[in-house]
Amino acid sequence: MKNISYRNVTLNGGFLHEKQLLNEAVTMDAVYDRFCETGRIDAFKFEWTEGKENKPHFFWDSDVAKWMEAAAYILAKKKAPDIEAKLESLIDLIEKNQGEDGYFNIYFTVCEPEARYTDRSCHELYCAGHLFEAAVAYFEATGKDRFLRLMEKYADYIYKVFIEDKSAAFVTPGHEEIELALVRMYRATGKKKYLELALFFINSRGSEENNELKPEEVPLYTQSHTPVRKQTTADGHSVRACYLYSAMADLACETDDKELFDACKTIFDNIVNKRMYITGGIGSTRLGETFTIDYDLPNSKAYAETCAAISLMFFAQRMLQLENDARYADICERVLYNGMISGLSLDGKSFFYENPLEIDKRNYIKFPSKYNREKFAITQRVGVFTCSCCPPNLNRVLASVADYIYGYDKDTVYINQFASSVAEFDGMKISQKTDYPKSGKIKINTQNVKKLCIRIPSWCKSFGINVEYKTEKGYAVIENINGEIEVDFAMEPVLIQSNIEVYENSGKAAVCCGPYVCAAESVDNIENLHSLFIDKAFCAKAYYDEELCGYVLRVKGFKKVTDSSLYSSYSENYEDYTIRMIPYASFANRGESNMCVWINVR
């Protein structure tokens, strides 16, 4: 299938709509303002010289480019003169400061002009990729082609350097991104050379010459350990990995490359069956921000970068388009409601980079020396990071989140995500009236739609549809549409276990409710969340909480009590205790708190 573009879809209620509005009203400015304060915006003036503050970093172009991409999406749907002015001003600076040869990179022009294309690990092509994505987005959003033309010139230059002259000191980028961006450039311009360049990067990856890395790195870190078609597990830096896999899926689609498609499928299965947190987070360690090994999913040490969750959704969305299988849209939903949106505070102003599944405040005080301590994720969101990739990534995903709702394949329309919305496309019209995710009741109306496929969420154990349907690849398929379709997905709390190979979760379970993964915070319970046990005869009541953007739960359970001894005879001394839980993504919005997703069961 292809997705029905966000440009053709209007959200009008529910969780995703609220987050989209928050992004437009608050988060866009919050990110831009922090980028001003940190010098990222001024850097585009190319005026930095040695001795001045705010020396440009080699990844800054990409931070701002993602914000520009988000701005473009917003401008497609509404007038936003302030955002437009900021965006145009940045494009002015890009036009002014772009090299005559087409090259554009702040750091490698202003700070280290002699080092252009000498260091594979310096995100040079990654920055280019994000600029390309922003340019395509702006062109598609508004029809204005100035930015796209500038970036075509840049892409042509990169083509020359890497394909014609082979004059760079490396063959493929250390941080993938340009590959998928080049596919977007190809789709927007029709220029086959961009597809060729993307394929060149993909096909060259994992050859020996790509393995020259910094000593602390390994080829696995950048997915350069073996040719991509031979890779069978998700490895290395998780964001790089999923950007790569997304490009592989794009190219499998564009070139009908079965081998590439098979590799994507094998890797995707490896992620979701063995290396993904229940929140949709990926990346089990902060050391290298990498995937580790199957079933290694530590909770308090989870890295689960916001960008990594986003990158997994990108990959899942592309696999969905290749396979028309609802299980991919399930992953998108898991990410959207949990491991991605946890990166954004409820007020829209601050961000997590890491999204752990457990917070123990004791971990932050237990090391006597601040110079010699284990590192754990921060416990309260902040406005900007030194490496501030996640905030603008949230900007662009939320601004274009309507992209994930509907798909089409010839005369079949797919409902992949549930949200009150209207889509108009190619003479067809489809709408959802629903308060989803508050309830699972959805009324669907269509015009000129012959066949409708409605995703049956994997979390849903029982549902009703008021018309005849068959099920296929996770969808309820409705062939003869006649009037309003009513769907009701029962949204009940459920108790979930992880595979016993996830050592960290043995004896424990998580609670989910509809698309939400739940978490217990000490602010709602007691300080020691490890003394709590969920009753295995699971009994929970759910209430929708507008402020916490999802279900809050009261779960029947117990509190274990021990005497003051450090060690004593084992006892079954439990008191009844009602465990209060909130949506995982809303954790850490009410001050410092212990938190956990996985809780003991008895």
Determine, following the binding rule CB under 8 A, whether residue 373 of this chain makes contact with its own copies. Answer: yes
Partnered with residue 251 across adjacent β-strands are none
Q: For residues 417-456, which are near its own copies according to CB under 8 A? A: none
Question: What is the rounded distance in angstroms from the CA atom of residue 472 to the CA atom of residue 487?
Answer: 16
Q: How far is the CB of 334 from its own copies (least distance, A)?
A: 10
Q: On the CB side of 93, how many CA atoms lie within 13 Å of its CA?
A: 20
Q: How far is the CB of 210 from its own copies (least distance, A)?
A: 16
Q: Is 46 exposed, middle or buried (0-12, 13-18, 19+ CB in 10 A)?
A: middle
Determine, following the binding rule CB under 8 A, whether residue 543 of this chain makes contact with its own copies. Answer: no
Q: Which residues are catalytic?
A: 289, 389
Determine, following the binding rule CB under 8 A, whether residue 536 of this chain makes contact with its own copies. Answer: yes
In this complex, which beta carbon is closest to its own copies, that of residue 191 or of residue 530? 530
In Å, how far are 46, 276, 343 from 586, measured between CA atoms? 39, 20, 9
In this complex, which beta carbon is closest to its own copies, that of residue 543 or of residue 570? 570
Determine, following the binding rule CB under 8 A, whether residue 539 of this chain makes contact with its own copies. Answer: no
Q: For residues 308-367, which are near its own copies according to CB under 8 A? A: 360, 362, 365-367
In Å, how far are 15, 95, 514 from 437, measured between CA atoms? 7, 44, 7
**CB distance 207 to 227 below 8 Å:** yes
Determine, following the binding rule CB under 8 A, whether residue 526 of this chain makes contact with its own copies. Answer: no
H or E element: which one contains 510?
A: strand 508-513
In this complex, which beta carbon is closest to its own copies, that of residue 250 or of residue 504? 504
Determine, following the binding rule CB under 8 A, whether residue 371 of this chain makes contact with its own copies. Answer: yes
Q: On the CB side of 482, how many CA atoms lie within 13 Å of its CA?
A: 4
Determine, following the binding rule CB under 8 A, whether residue 266 of this chain makes contact with its own copies. Answer: no
Q: For residues 546-565, which are near its own copies according to CB under 8 A? A: 560-565
Q: How far is the CB of 585 from its own copies (least distance, A)?
A: 17
Q: For residues 14-43, which are near its own copies according to CB under 8 A? A: none
Residue holding tokens 């043995």? 506
Determine, following the binding rule CB under 8 A, whether residue 576 of this chain makes contact with its own copies. Answer: no
Member of 49, 100, 114, 570 binding its own copies (CB under 8 A): 570
Question: What is the rounded distance in angstroms from the CA atom of residue 213 to the CA atom of residue 202?
Answer: 18
Question: What is the rounded distance in angstroms from the CA atom of residue 147 to the CA atom of residue 393?
Answer: 20
Closest-CA residue to 452 (of 419, 487, 421): 487
In this complex, which beta carbon is closest to its own copies, that of residue 28 or of residue 220? 220
Question: What is the rounded distance in angstroms from the CA atom of residue 475 to the CA atom of residue 457?
Answer: 9
Q: Which stretch binds its own copies (CB under 8 A): 76-84, 267-275, 340-348, 382-390?
A: 267-275
In this complex, which beta carbon is closest to its own copies, that of residue 84 or of residue 296? 296
Q: On the CB side of 378, how many CA atoms lie within 13 Å of its CA?
A: 15
Determine, following the binding rule CB under 8 A, whether residue 120 of this chain makes contact with its own copies. Answer: no
SS3 readout for 414-472: EECCCCEEEEEECCEEEEEEECCCCCCEEEEEEECCCEEEEECCCCCCCEEECCCCEEE
Q: Which stretch binds its own copies (CB under 8 A): 63-71, 424-432, 468-476, 490-498?
A: 490-498
- Phi and psi for 294 in degrees, rounded to 5? -55, 135
Angle (CA) 129-194-86 rounded to 5° is 40
Please tell me the count of residues contacting its own copies according to CB under 8 A.
71
Determine, following the binding rule CB under 8 A, whether residue 293 of this chain makes contact with its own copies. Answer: yes
Q: For residues 492-511, which are near its own copies according to CB under 8 A? A: 494-503, 506-510
Determine, following the binding rule CB under 8 A, whether residue 232 of this chain makes contact with its own copies. Answer: no
Member of 12, 118, 471, 571 binding its own copies (CB under 8 A): 571
In this complex, which beta carbon is closest to its own copies, that of residue 386 or of residue 569? 569
**CB distance 234 to 267 below 8 Å:** yes
Q: How far is the CB of 600 from its own copies (least distance, A)?
A: 4
In this complex, which beta carbon is closest to its own copies, that of residue 211 or of residue 600? 600
Determine, following the binding rule CB under 8 A, whether residue 412 of this chain makes contact with its own copies. Answer: no
- The token pair at 319 is 């696999």
Q: For residues 78-107, which are near its own copies according to CB under 8 A? A: none
Determine, following the binding rule CB under 8 A, whether residue 601 of this chain makes contact with its own copies. Answer: yes
In this complex, which beta carbon is closest to its own copies, that of residue 46 or of residue 538? 538
Member of 36, 163, 169, 287 binding its own copies (CB under 8 A): 287
Question: What is the rounded distance in angstroms from the CA atom of residue 128 to the CA atom of residue 32?
Answer: 20
Residue holding tokens 């592989």? 248
**CB distance 108 to 158 below 8 Å:** no
In this complex, which beta carbon is closest to its own copies, that of residue 296 or of residue 424? 296
Q: For residues 150-209, which are near its own copies according to CB under 8 A? A: none
The mark string for 199-228 relative to its own copies (x by CB under 8 A, - otherwise) is: ----------------xxxx-xx-------
Closest-CA residue to 444 (of 474, 471, 477, 421): 421
